[in-house]
Amino acid sequence: MTPGSTSPTAAQTTVPETDRPTGSTPARVAAVDCGTNSIRLLVADVDPATGTLVELDRRMEVVRLGQGVDRTGRLAPEALERTLDAARRYAQVITDLGATRTRFVATSATRDAQNRDDFVRGVLDALGVEPEVVSGQEEAELSFRGATSTVAQVRPGPYVVVDLGGGSTELVHGTATPDAAFSMDVGCVRMTERHLRSDPPTADEEAAARADVRAALDEAAGVVPLGRAATLVGLAGSVTTVTAHALALAAYDRDRIDGAVLPVEDVLAACDDLLHRTRADRAALGFMHPGRVDVIGAGALVWSEVVRRVRDDVAAAGGSLTEVVTSEHDILDGIAWSIA
C-alpha cells in the first residue's frame, strides 16, 4: 500500500477513560487536514462514550499548497487549484460514506498567506464547510491527542509529540493532556525552498538548514520541556518515510510503520542517508511517495535535528532516550475526536 492510499479495512483506536464524556452517542465524522505539502481525509465512526474510533477511509494527496509561500507570502493560483480539486474529490467520499459532521483544518501555509480568503471561499464552495485556519498551538494540541490515543496504551509518558509538516513543525509535551506546545516555522517544504536547492544538497546548504532548525529548537526548548520526555513520538509524512527507510521496507506498509519503535541511531542513520541521496535515488525507493521525493531530504534533516536535541536534553536532565516511536495516528485523529 502506498502512502495516502485508502486502508482496505477499518482500524480502531481508543482514548483513555478519563477523556471520555458520558451520555454521548456515536457519530460518523469527516476530518480534513490541509497543510503545506498535502491534504488528507479521515472518515470515521467515533464513539466518545466507549472511547473508540473506527476508521472507514483515510487518504492523502500531495498538492503542495505552500508552493512559494515562504518567498511570496501568497498562495500560488496553480497550488490553490490543485488543493480545491482534491477537496472536491473528498466531498464526494464524505457524501458517499454518509458523514454527518465535517471539520476542515488548515495549517501552516494558509496561516502565512496574504490571500487566504481565496482559499476559504474555494473550500466553502467545494465542501460546504468553512476551513478553520488554526494556530500552531491548536495544531500541536490536535496532533497530541491523535498520537496519544494509541501510543498511551503501550508507552509511558510524559510524551514529546512532534508533528513535522511542510511549513511548520509542532512540538508538544504532556501526559494525559498537553501542558506545553510550540510551533516552529521549519518544515520539509520551507527548508527545501529556503536552503536545499542542489541535488544532492551541498555542505553549505545543509549547514545553513541545520542552523535554522537548531535556532528554532533553541526557542522551542524555552517553552516545551524536551528533557522531561519519557517517550518521543514522531508524526506525519517525513517521519513515516524515514521510518520506512529505517525498516528497509520494499513498499510502504502503514501497519508496520504505525507504532514502530526504532533505536535513535537507526533513525539518525536513515535520515542521513535520505538527505544525501540524489532525487533519482530517492524516487527509486519502493516506499517513497512521488510527491515527497523532492522534500524528504529536508524532512529528514529536520527530524534528525529534533531527535538529537530531545535525546541530548533528556541526557542533560539525567535520563536516557534510546528509542523513537512513529505513529500513523496524528492530527486527523485529533480533529475527528474534536468533532465528536
Residues 147 and 294 in one domain: yes
Three-class secondary structure of residue 229 per DSSP:
coil
pLDDT at 20 over 60: no
Residue ending a domain, choose from 135, 168, 186: 135
Q: How many domains, in total, are found in the chain?
A: 2
| Number of residues assigned to the chain | 340
Answer yes or no: is 43 within a domain. yes
136 CB-side CA count, 13 A: 23
What is the domain range of residue 36?
A: 11-135
Answer yes or no: is 201 within a domain. yes
Residues 41 and 62 in one domain: yes
Residues 54 and 162 in one domain: no
Three-class secondary structure of residue 251 per DSSP:
coil
Residues 179 and 235 in one domain: yes
What mean pLDDT value characterizes the chain?
88
Residue ending a domain, choose from 135, 159, 183: 135
Three-class secondary structure of residue 329 per DSSP:
coil
DSSP letter for each residue of 183-199: EES--HHHHHHHT--SS
Answer yes or no: is 334 within a domain. no
- 261: cell is 519503535
- 234: cell is 514522531
pLDDT at 112 over 90: no
Residues 185 and 233 in one domain: yes
Residues 110 and 202 in one domain: no
With beta carbons less than 8 A apart as the criterion, state whether 192 and 294 touch.
Answer: yes
CATH number at residue 296: 3.30.420.150
Q: Which residues pair with 61 in a beta bridge?
A: 39
pTM of the model: 0.80
Residues 37 and 62 in one domain: yes
pLDDT of 13 reads 52
- Residue entry with cell 490515543: 149
With beta carbons less than 8 A apart as the criterion, state whether 262 and 243 touch.
Answer: yes
**Is beta strand 101-106 parallel, antiparallel or unpaired with respect to 159-164?**
unpaired
Answer yes or no: is 46 within a domain. yes
Answer yes or no: is 32 within a domain. yes
193: amino acid identity, one letter: E
- C-alpha Rg value of the chain to the nearest Å: 19
With beta carbons less than 8 A apart as the criterion, state whether 330 and 151 touch.
Answer: no
242: amino acid identity, one letter: V
Non-local CB neighbours of 55 within 8 Å, separated by 6+ positions = 7, 10, 11, 12, 13, 42, 43, 44
Residue ending a domain, choose from 75, 108, 135: 135
pLDDT tens digits for range 259-268 = 999 999 999 9
Answer yes or no: is 4 within a domain. no
Mean pLDDT, range 64-76, rounded to an integer: 84
| Between 153 and 298, residue with greater pLDDT | 298
Answer yes or no: is 337 within a domain. no
CATH number at residue 63: 3.30.420.40
Residues 155 and 123 in one domain: no
Helix axes 296-316, 264-276, angle to 10 degrees: 150
Residues 105 and 200 in one domain: no
Residues 79 and 112 in one domain: yes
- Residue entry with cell 513515516: 240
Residues 128 and 224 in one domain: no
Per mean pLDDT, which range of 37-41, 58-62, 64-68, 270-274 is the poorest? 64-68
Answer yes or no: is 331 within a domain. no
pLDDT at 4 over 50: no
Residues 143 and 253 in one domain: yes
Mean pLDDT, range 48-55, rounded to an integer: 84
